[in-house]
Amino acid sequence: RGEERGSLRAGRLCGMAEEGGMLKLEAPEAVTVPCEYCAKQVDKRELRKHQAYDCLQSELRIMQCPKGCGQNIEARSLEKHIVDECPLELVPCDFQLSGCPRRITRRAKREHNSENIEYHLSLINRGSLERDDRTAKVEKTLRAREMELQGLYTALDQERKERAEMFDEFEERMIGMLEAFEERIKDNTDNSKRALNGSLLTTNNVDSMRRTVDGLTFDMQNMKKEALDLAVRVRRMQTAQAEQASGPGAQRTPSMGGTG
């Protein structure tokens, strides 16, 4: 047990040297590490101090607020301090959107608001009147556009009605012409049969048949011409309708009758 106590005593005295009969602590060897911001080799025990006060690139460097409020802030937090906290930072008035042009220090905002209550109220009232005026103008413009659209839709409905009537008229005329054409063909066939049965193809019969054929040919030409004219009219109406559909205000807008 005496040897064990001697070993423990020797262990406690490790790192101590005898000088003039006295024991003296020996300084441990310095350990240097690189600063993560500037890469400078610094005593490990002094690293935090170096980063706080000496390293110009350190985010942990302690800086005094440039606005003069007297606060010391880490470099990484300086911008946030100025934007959100610094009492000497100039900020816009709370009523900026209402028209107040003043910029005051953050700590003077409450005093500014208290001293300018009537001014701020007048700005709010004026802004409200201006908004009401703009709203009235917008509503007037929308009503005019709605009337314009209603006129366009009325004209379009009228055009559709006229086109339907035109188609009905054309169909009726074509049916009548076809019926007349069929009747004349039947008459001509009957006349031809009678002439052939009696073997009396006289000059009059031949002339009558020729006139009938000429008349049928003329009727066919008229029918073809009317069909072409109708096709041209339909094409023009389709073109005009397509231009109206692709133009501004082609979609129907809700009625303004419910606007309060």
- pLDDT band (50, 70, 90) for residue 146: very high
Phi-psi region of 36 (alpha: psi -120 to 50; beta: other; left: phi over 0): alpha
Residue 40: how many CA atoms within 13 Å on its side-chain side?
14
Token representation of residue 174: 């074509």
Using CA atoms, how far residue 84 sits from 61, 64, 259, in Å, is: 20, 16, 43
**Is the pLDDT reported for residue 24 higher than 70?**
no
pLDDT (0 to 100) of residue 100? 94
pLDDT (0 to 100) of residue 44? 85
Sign of CA dihedral 158, 160, 163, 168: negative
Give the C-alpha separation, 256 to 253, whole Å: 9
Give the C-alpha separation, 80 to 121, whole Å: 32
Using CA atoms, how far residue 128 sits from 124, 134, 136, 139, 219, in Å, is: 6, 10, 12, 16, 76
pLDDT (0 to 100) of residue 247? 57
Give the C-alpha separation, 168 to 176, whole Å: 12
- pLDDT band (50, 70, 90) for residue 115: very high
pLDDT (0 to 100) of residue 105? 95
Q: Give pTM, 2 decimals.
A: 0.40
The predicted model gives 4-26 an average pLDDT of: 49
Between 239 and 160, residue with greater pLDDT: 160
**Is the pLDDT reported for residue 90 higher than 70?**
yes
pLDDT (0 to 100) of residue 110? 92
**Is the pLDDT reported for residue 222 higher than 80?**
no
- pLDDT band (50, 70, 90) for residue 244: low
- pLDDT band (50, 70, 90) for residue 260: very low
